Amino acid sequence: NAGVTQTPKFQVLKTGQSMTLQCAQDMNHEYMSWYRQDPGMGLRLIHYSVGAGITDQGEVPNGYNVSRSTTEDFPLRLLSAAPSQTSVYFCASSYSTGSKWGEQFFGPGTRLTVL
Amino acid sequence: DAKTTQPPSMDCAEGRAANLPCNHSTISGNEYVYWYRQIHSQGPQYIIHGLKNNETNEMASLIITEDRKSSTLILPHATLRDTAVYYCIVSSLTGGGNKLTFGTGTQLKVEL
């Protein structure tokens, strides 16, 4: 299993540009989520999904859109990038039920800079 | 979700046990205690979680007090590779998933 993969690893955008951060998992996990981590801070939840076709907002959703058309993929879209969105973005996935539901698997992150 | 309090940093000698404390005095009855760690800006790594009983796995042990207001993560024989930020999180399973709220954690430095 590749686990949770994220692309790209690094990205530089100009203010106002849009882009999509990709996240995929091959563990058949129902639950997927996106976090951002600013320097010296803990991770903050942006959006999450409990299954294909179902998404909801986390703590800091403004400026981001998500969709979940398949179990495997959960892309994060930045609509109009702002310098305040400069951060490291992590995708995570986990089971929703059963004995393994408590363990979330995180991807390696995408380091985004908005100029 | 309940809030947690952790010391900002701790040191540990290699080979010794590392005991990382966490206070979660407002924890609710259906909230679990989770521990994750983050090594040098990599994605966080799950370590262990528990509800009220002590738990042990191949990585660590989790000791939860009887009143559930605090817990301790124990790394029995710390190595240099255990140097990381350790996050204590309390969360419940709601709506099909558990939303983790990360604080700033404890920076554990394991030294020779």
What pLDDT, on a 0 to 100 scale, did the predictor assign at position A99? 66
3-state helix, strand, coil in chain A (%, to 5): 5, 50, 50
pLDDT value at residue A97:
73
Verify whether the Cβ–Cβ distance A45 to B103 is below 8 Å: no
Per-residue pLDDT, A39: 86
Backbone angles phi and psi of A64, in degrees to 5: -130, 145
Q: Do B87 and A42 touch (CB under 8 A)?
A: yes
Q: Could you tell me if B100 lies within 8 Å of chain A, comparing CB atoms? A: yes
Contact yes or no for B62/B35 (Cβ under 8 A): yes
Using only C-alpha atoms, what is the Rg of chain A?
13
What's the CA dihedral at B33, B34, B35, B36 to 10 degrees? -160
Residue numbers in B near A104 (CB within 8 A): 36, 44, 46, 98, 100
Verify whether the Cβ–Cβ distance B99 to A48 is below 8 Å. yes
Q: How far is A43 from chain B (nearest CA, A)?
A: 5
What pLDDT score was predicted for residue A7?
97
Q: What is the mean pLDDT of residues A73-84?
A: 97
Distance CA(B105)–CA(A7), nearest Å, equals 27
Mutation choice for A interface testing from B57, B102, B106 by most A CBs within 10 A? B102
A69-83, B9-23, B43-57, B91-105: which range is least confident on average? B91-105
Model confidence over B64-95: pLDDT tens digits? 999 999 999 999 999 999 999 999 999 876 65
**Mean pLDDT, residues B61-65:** 97
Which residues from chain A sit within 8 angstroms of residue B49, using beta carbons?
A: 102-103
Number of Cβ within 10 Å of residue A28's Cβ equals 10
pLDDT-based confidence at residue A103 (cuts at 50, 70, 90): confident
* Residues B27-57 pLDDT 10s: 988 889 999 999 988 999 999 999 998 999 9
Mean pLDDT of B3-10: 95
pLDDT in tens, A9-51: 999 999 999 999 999 999 999 999 999 999 888 899 999 999 9
Highest mean pLDDT among A35-49, A69-83, A90-104, B25-39: A69-83
CA distance A113 to B28: 38
The single-letter DSSP state of residue B13 is E
Cα A29 to chain centroid distance, Å, stands at 14
- Inform me whether the pLDDT recorded for B1 exceeds 60: no
Question: How close A35 comes to chain B (CA, Å)?
Answer: 10
Burial of B89 by CB count in 10 Å (0-12 exposed, 13-18 middle, 19+ buried)?
buried
CB contact under 8 A, A45 and B101: yes
- Output the average pLDDT for chain A: 93
